[in-house]
């Protein structure tokens, strides 16, 4: 599979990641990425940056080391209505947004509550991707989730980090087997994310790709294979941005 996009990555600004933005982008370029996104944790995550961090992305070149750079955020869903932890005035200035469930920001609820939280995020026009919807600690009605993603034209993530043997997320493979079967049924596209917290993992999708190969998931539903596919979900990709050659 032609794998050229990674939008779920973290820098040291997130507080529990270990490399700078420029180090992460350079590593992504070496891994063969053509579009690389930085998505540091929003302010509700313990140890992460202040919201001011997300207000000054105009300072960041959008082409580095020969690849397109997008500046986004991994938002925390903070209640079962699907509210997130950045103001709309800031959300509208991001290149893209991922919304995820994290135990430090929302204690897991019932399947109905967790599903409601994700549906609220899906309905938010500023959110493009639902991050790691695979955590067995948050049981979810996947049929409802995937149908909503189809209705609202949102991407569901397959998170490479969730397959790590030491991941705190439990039962990720079984959750994905259920979700991906429904994605085929509803023709919902997915995006693979590394969830890299160090440069060593930037652009690393090996575990996620192994699962997709195992179940013969259709490549036409994987947006990581082309910028054109991703542009259907991220209008920012139609803009040229400022070029800077640091390769």
Question: From first to last of its 247 residues, what are the pLDDT tens digits of the chain?
Answer: 899 999 999 999 999 999 999 999 999 999 999 999 999 999 999 999 999 999 999 999 999 999 999 999 999 999 999 999 999 999 999 999 999 999 999 999 999 999 999 999 999 999 999 999 999 999 999 999 999 999 999 999 999 999 999 999 999 999 999 999 999 999 999 999 999 999 999 999 999 999 999 999 999 999 999 999 999 999 899 774 444 444 4
User: What is the predicted pLDDT for the residue at 102?
Assistant: 98
User: What is the predicted pLDDT for the residue at 26?
Assistant: 98
User: What is the predicted pLDDT for the residue at 238?
Assistant: 79
User: What is the predicted pLDDT for the residue at 160?
Assistant: 98
pTM: 0.95
Q: Alpha helices of 162-205 — where are they, by DSSP H?
A: 172-186
| Alpha carbons 174 and 176: distance in angstroms, whole number | 5
User: What is the predicted pLDDT for the residue at 148?
Assistant: 98
**C-alpha torsion 137→210→214→218, nearest 10:** 90
Enter the DSSP assignment of 76: E
């Amino acid at each position: 599979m032609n794998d050229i996009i990674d939008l779920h990555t973290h820098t040291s600004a997130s507080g529990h990641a270990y490399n700078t933005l420029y180090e992460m982008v350079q590593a992504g370029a070496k891994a063969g990425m053509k579009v690389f996104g930085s998505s540091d944790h929003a302010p509700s995550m313990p140890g992460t940056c202040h919201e001011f961090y997300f207000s000054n992305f105009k300072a960041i070149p959008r082409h580095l080391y020969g690849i397109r750079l997008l500046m986004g955020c991994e938002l925390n869903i903070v209640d079962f209505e699907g509210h997130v932890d950045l103001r709309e005035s800031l959300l509208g200035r991001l290149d893209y947004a991922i919304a995820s469930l994290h135990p430090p920001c929302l204690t897991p609820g019932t399947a109905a509550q967790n599903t409601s939280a994700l549906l609220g995020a899906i309905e938010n026009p500023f959110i493009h991707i639902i991050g790691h919807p695979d955590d067995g600690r948050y049981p979810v009605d996947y049929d409802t989730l995937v149908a909503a993603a189809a209705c609202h034209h949102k991407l569901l993530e397959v998170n490479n980090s969730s397959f790590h043997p030491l991941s705190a997320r439990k039962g990720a493979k079984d959750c994905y087997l259920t979700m991906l079967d429904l994605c085929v049924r509803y023709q919902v596209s997915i995006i693979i994310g590394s969830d890299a917290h160090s440069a060593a993992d930037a652009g690393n999708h090996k575990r996620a790709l192994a699962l997709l190969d195992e179940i013969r998931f259709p490549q036409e539903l994987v947006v990581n294979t082309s910028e054109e596919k991703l542009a259907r979900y991220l209008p920012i990709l139609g803009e040229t941005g400022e070029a800077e050659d640091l390769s």
